[in-house]
Amino acid sequence: MSMHFLFLLALPFLSTASASVVGRHVPHDDHSHRLEQRLPSATWYHHRDHPVHSLFRRDGDTDGVNYAPVGSSEWAAGYPPEPPTLPDVKSIPASWIAALNDAVSRKAIPDIPPSKLDSGGNPTYAGKDPNSPEICSSTYQCRIDGDIWDAPAGSIGLSFDDGPEAGSEKLIAYLKTVNQPVTHFLIGSNIRDNPDTFLKIFELGDGICVHTWTHPYMTTLTNEQVVAELGWTMQIIHNSTGGRVPKFWRPPYGDSDKRVTAIAKEVFGMTTIIWNQDTDDWSLTDSPPGTTAQKINSSMHTWLTGPKSPGLIILEHELSDQSVAAFMAAYPVMQQNNWNIMSLADLVGHNASYQNSDSNTSPVNGVDIVNAKNNSPPSSSSSIAAPSSASGSKPANSASSPASSSPSSPTQKPSSALAQWTIQPIALILATLSFLLLH
């Protein structure tokens, strides 16, 4: 048998084996690639109405843990029971208290006594000025550094409070018809009591954020009670969404101060979001009503046709069909005035709604709610982080912790065993050729 004949005989096998190596995608995250044009934001993605979004939708991405089915008795038993009163601080998991104590010992939590409500429902601080730099009460429009009140110029960040509630079904149906993502600030006890509606919200793809467990005035609570209100709401969202940890929270009544905001950030890694316009739509169903659809329409028209700097974060609710109808009437006006309309969490979170996942369908880093702040979302096929420089430094929303500390995820590199099986056909062919040539 001639050497030329053996070479020709081996060619098809060499080509096939080489193709199996070249064609196989092996992640290589340890160096950067130069891009000819910088991507428009920290994360690139397709809107839900884009055909590519459905093509590459990653249904079922979770942290790999088998949680109790949402709505089951086993699932409900894991959270504070009815009625929706303040959670018992004695039932707070030890890891949450440890995180709180650590933050207090680092003096990361200001030593501010809980407030007391006056006859008008406003928090007071025992003779201290609520607008002082020490307290900075958001009820009195004091803005704490890092809290979010405004959208970027020209943008509207859409969000709805208090769900799942009576108006949620109407809102979900409308959002489907207009292909518009929004953010939902959900009450934890409402999730427990309305699991089917919660799942519809999640399956819609909308960002899910925290609006506490029982909707109290947060500044009136002790440190431990604040932890319970935030923690249980985060936990039910985490266990009901495949392990996702919310990135944002909104205080009921807009009631926060430096102490409460610090607990949310230092213990749970959440950023506080307030608003810069208020529809009062929550009072549409009061008796007598506190506002009317006509008043809301008039306010919306003023805001939407007025200056675009700063951008708008409008307080709206999914409490009733009436409050949702007010949004439905305003949405075409938003479009007609050429606003950049986005889900609020995506708009201010660089298209990442959660601390450990970009969206409801992207990969999830498996982590508990107190350690999520030390992690970043894994990369996914539908979101590409824009490099901050040619030197390969991490994007702005990446955690500083090394990759080796991150939990395993669907985006891990193939194991060495897989690489061996990929290369072995070439080695086998070459060994066979060597044997035949020598004999």
Domain extent listing, the chain:
51-385
3 state DSSP class of 343: strand
Angle among Cα 266, 188, 377 to the nearest 5 degrees reads: 50
Phi and psi (nearest 5°) for 160? -135, 135
Q: Which of 184, 233, 232 is nearest to 204 (CA)?
A: 184
Q: In whole angstroms, what is the distance from residue 222 CA to residue 256 CA? A: 13
Instruction: Give the chain's residues under pLDDT 70.
Output: 1-60, 379-439
pLDDT of residue 375: 82
pLDDT of residue 83: 82
Q: How far apart are the first and last CA of the chain?
A: 10
Burial class for 324, CB neighbours closer than 10 Å (0-12, 13-18, 19+) = buried
Angle among Cα 83, 256, 129 to the nearest 5 degrees reads: 130
pLDDT of residue 34: 31
* 63 flagged as catalytic: no
Whether residue 288 is preceded by a cis peptide bond, meaning omega within 30 degrees of 0, is yes
Considering the candidates 161, 206, 280, 346, report the single residue annotated as catalytic: 161
H/E element holding 11? helix 3-23
The residues, ordered by sequence, that sit 6+ positions from 436 with a Cβ below 8 Å of its Cβ are: 1, 6
Using DSSP bridges, classify how beta strands 43-44 and 207-210 pair: parallel, antiparallel or unpaired: unpaired
Residue with tokens 């897989």: 418
Sign of CA dihedral 157, 162, 163, 167: negative
pLDDT of residue 82: 85
Q: In whole angstroms, what is the distance from residue 40 CA to residue 152 CA? A: 14
Q: In whole angstroms, what is the distance from residue 179 CA to residue 204 CA? A: 10
* 161 flagged as catalytic: yes
DSSP 183-209: EEEE-HHHHHH-HHHHHHHHHHT-EEE
Task: Output the CATH code of domain 51-385.
Answer: 3.20.20.370
Considering the candidates 184, 211, 215, 317, report the single residue annotated as catalytic: 317
pLDDT tens column, 244-257: 999 999 999 999 99
DSSP 78-97: TS--SS-PPPPGGGS-HHHH
pLDDT of residue 60: 52
Q: Which of 232, 241, 191, 188 is nearest to 211 (CA)?
A: 188
pLDDT of residue 141: 97
